[in-house]
Amino acid sequence: MADLSEGIARPKGRVKSCTSCRQVKLRCDAVSKFPAACSRCKAHGLDCRIDSNFKRVSVRGRLEEMSRKVNSLQNNLSHQTPESLSAASSVIPLGPASTNSATSFSGEDWLLLSDFDANQNRSWSLGDVVLGYQNVSELLHFYAHNYYDHLPIFDRATSISALHDSNPLLFWTILRVACYRHPKFSHIFESTSQPYRLLLMNNLVAVIHDFRTIQALVVLCHWPNSGPRQSQDPSWQYCGVAVNAAMQMGLDQAHPEKIAPGFHGRFNVHQMSVYSRHMTWLACFHISTSLSVWLGVPPHLSSPAQLNALSSTAKEPDVPLHFMVQIEITRQVVQYSTSLAGDVDASTASTLLNLFNNELDNLLNAYKDIWSPRLEIQLLGAKLYLFSLCLTVVSKRPTLVDGMAKRYASDPSRLPVQLGLPSAVSLIHNMSKLRKESPMEAHQPPSGVIHYPKFYFRLVVFAVGFLMKFLSTNPNASQEDRELAISHITTAHQFFSSFPGGEDFARVAQAIEVLAKNLRSDKQDDSDPIRTRSGASLLYDIFQKFRGPADRLGGDDNTTITGAPIEAEAWQKHADTSKTAPLGNVDSGSSMWTPAGTYNELSSFQSDLEEGLDNFQWMSDDMLSEMFRM
């Protein structure tokens, strides 16, 4: 086993308490509860993290400072007149809608229903589910408010009946997405699962002539919308159908040509606005690349000519600027994925890593005026995949690993696993911050990050996997870096545990907990790594190594996980008896992730966890089968 204390200076004191408990000088059980929050922070909804550099702040000083600020504000307000307040409010901008072009619709601009008088008594049905005008209108407005801005590909809708009659598949796809997290209509998602599947099948078995079918598939691939089990969510296959149908219709062309009906030219692409055509094709590219990154398969669109054409389309004046930046980030992902494919030596891999890392930074510098947390998260995800891809490339040949190590011997901070630490930490921090800005009360309608497309949540899982890779293969990292990684694994666990009524999120938290409890550190791991899934190989590899000895695919009861358990205090005190002992000889109670009595409890709920992960719609079947025998 690897000694985690090797090469690391012992700290002066042992950090056993989180910052919140240390602030009030109370006993803390953060070590035994990891990756969950300590009991006190969990009970009071506090941010639970461990920081050896934390220093208590005097409460008396904080109260005096707040008192001074309140007095200052009161004095300033007392000198304000009603005229000055009204004058100040008159110069406040009206918001982004005042600067948007006529075609760059927001959710509120997209849905402008004006057919109430004509359709107030009409209803729409799918299977045994019947919805009246008021219910459909409420769901559409819920979609417009929470979902449309993430995927602004539709032309303006003014009539519910027209939206349904033009393409029932698109109509019901939108409604099902809106139902999935709706506080009042979530039961409709399950009720319409079987009839929706039949509707989808009828649209896919024939040639696709309607562009709205492509849009429905794109929406379907963005959000969990295909059923309760992962095996019923073939988003990658649907995305391939959407991309191929879009190219056949000519959506990838600047000006689609009219083709005679005899040559499969009965497409209605010419009914689309230029805006909708551009946005639909760009959305096909974006979701296709996102899925390929997660699954570790080659992207559908990757040739230089295709990427140049996509860049030109994204820069059209009718494309919202934030969406254009999103496409540019995605384009960089495809470019470096293609460049690092095949046989690449250590020097070339290092050069390309620095080149594309700088290119991603240049995007931030060029568009900092419109930068947003969503763009930041996608940029950090792109960087993480770049570092992961480089790790996979150099691990394919032992000589490349040695070459990379020698290249950075004088500066280990430039190694990909070390470079990715800030990106993984920042990504988790940004997603957690977005979650904290969303209402959490059960009586309030869910809003904010809970409605984000599923690739955002996949990025959090990817960041957790990268941090586990950092901890398991980098035992000589500094104490501060290891604390940072462990603290943000905890943050990710708390993030997925914080959604009320979100069973799928709770299952992800359980998966992180199981991986954390089995995490080991061994710089010279002899197990066969996964190398055939591009940058996603890192995630597959983490799942294969740390899902637990009893659940290894093809394993038996004698299977061991090599390496030493990673603990919050592993670099502070590490028993000599655990340096060479296999897992079977290690007391499970000695691990912070496996307190006394927990190992048997884990075995007892393992079957429930397997079923839960089968419902986790953001993980591929291959990943799950690698993680547990299902």
- Of the two residues 416 and 236, the one the predictor is more confident about is 236
587 falls within a domain = no
In a domain, 95, yes or no: no
| pLDDT at residue 127, as a whole number | 93
For the chain, how are helix, strand and coil distributed in percent, rounded to 5?
60, 5, 35
Does residue 350 fall inside a structural domain? yes
Does 74 map to a domain?
no
Residue 330 or 515, more confident: 330
278/155 same-domain check: yes
According to DSSP, residue 619 is labeled S
- Mean pLDDT lowest among 304-318, 325-339, 388-402, 582-596: 582-596
- Per the structure, the count of domains in the chain is 3
Which pLDDT value is given to residue 424? Answer: 94
Is a pLDDT exceeding 90 seen at residue 171?
A: yes
For 211-221, write each residue's pLDDT tens digit: 999 999 999 99
Residues 358 and 242 in one domain: no
pLDDT for residue 221: 94
419 pLDDT exceeds 90? Answer: no
- pLDDT per residue as tens digits for the range 80-128: 544 444 443 333 333 333 333 445 568 888 999 888 888 888 999 999 9
Count CB atoms within 10 A of the CB of residue 55. Answer: 8
Higher pLDDT, 617 or 119: 119
Output the pLDDT for position 561.
44
- What pLDDT does residue 628 have? 37
Q: Of 522, 551, 580, which one is at a domain's C-terminal end?
A: 551
- pLDDT exceeds 70 at position 263: no
- Is 539 found in the same domain as 443? yes
Q: Same structural domain for residues 466 and 529?
A: yes
Which are the contacts of 349, defined by CB distance < 8 A and separation ≥ 6? 340, 390, 393, 394, 400, 404
Between 444 and 372, where is the model more confident? 372
- Name the pLDDT band for 398 (thresholds 50, 70, 90): low
Q: State which residues form the domain around 278.
A: 116-257+267-301
* pLDDT over threshold 80, residue 14: no
More confident residue, 282 or 612: 282
- Highest averaged pLDDT of the listed ranges 13-22, 319-328, 343-352, 477-486: 319-328
Q: CB under 8 Å to 503, separation ≥6 — which residues?
A: 612, 615
Per mean pLDDT, which of 20-24, 69-73, 457-461, 560-564 is the most reliable?
A: 457-461
For residue 513, the model assigns a pLDDT of: 87
Mean pLDDT of 454-475: 89
Average pLDDT over residues 566-587: 35
Both 523 and 457 in one domain: the answer is: yes
Please give the pLDDT value at position 404.
Answer: 53
Higher pLDDT, residue 161 or 553: 161
Nearest Cα to Cα of residue 540 among 625, 454, 607 = 625
Q: Does residue 195 or residue 578 have the better pLDDT?
A: 195
CA distance 155 to 168: 16
Cα-Cα end-to-end distance for the chain: 30
In this prediction, residue 312 carries a pLDDT of: 95
Residue 630 covered by a domain: no
Q: 38, 58, 78: which is the final residue of a domain?
A: 58
- Rounded to whole angstroms, the Cα distance separating 259 from 239 reads 24
Residue 64 has pLDDT above 80, yes or no: no
Query: Span 437-454, mean pLDDT?
Result: 68
Task: Please report the pLDDT score of residue 347 as a whole number.
Answer: 77
Average confidence (pLDDT) over 47-53: 81
Over range 42-71, report the average pLDDT: 72
- Domain-embedded: residue 309: no
Q: What is the DSSP string of 523-551?
A: TT--SPPP-SSGGGHHHHHHHHHHS-GGG
Residue 90 lies in a domain: no
pTM: predicted TM-score of the whole model, two decimal places: 0.74
Taking each helix axis as running N to C, give the angle between helix 454-473 and helix 503-517, from 0 to 180 degrees, rounded to the nearest 10. 10
State whether 128 and 37 are in the same domain: no
Which tokens belong to 548? 């637990």
Does residue 212 share a domain with residue 337?
no
The per-residue DSSP string of 589-612 comes to GGBTTB-TTHHHHHHHTHHHHHHH
Q: Given a cut of 90, is residue 177 above it in pLDDT?
A: yes
Instruction: Compute the distance between CA of residue 369 and CA of residue 292 in angstroms, rounded to an integer.
Output: 30
Q: Which of 42-56, 82-96, 404-418 has the lowest mean pLDDT?
A: 82-96
Q: Is 523 within 8 Å of 2 (Cβ atoms)? A: yes
pLDDT grade for 610, boundaries at 50, 70 and 90: very low
Say if 406 falls within a structural domain: no
Q: Tell me, yes or no, whether 353 and 292 share the same domain.
A: no
Residue 350 and residue 235 share a domain: no
pLDDT of residue 416: 77
Last residue of a domain, one of 280, 301, 322: 301
Residues 338 and 294 in one domain: no
Q: Are 351 and 281 members of one domain?
A: no
Split at pLDDT 50, 70, 90, the class of 413 is very low
Q: What is the mean pLDDT of the chain?
A: 75
3-state secondary structure of 15: coil
Same domain, 287 and 387: no
Select the more confidently predicted residue: 584 or 409: 409
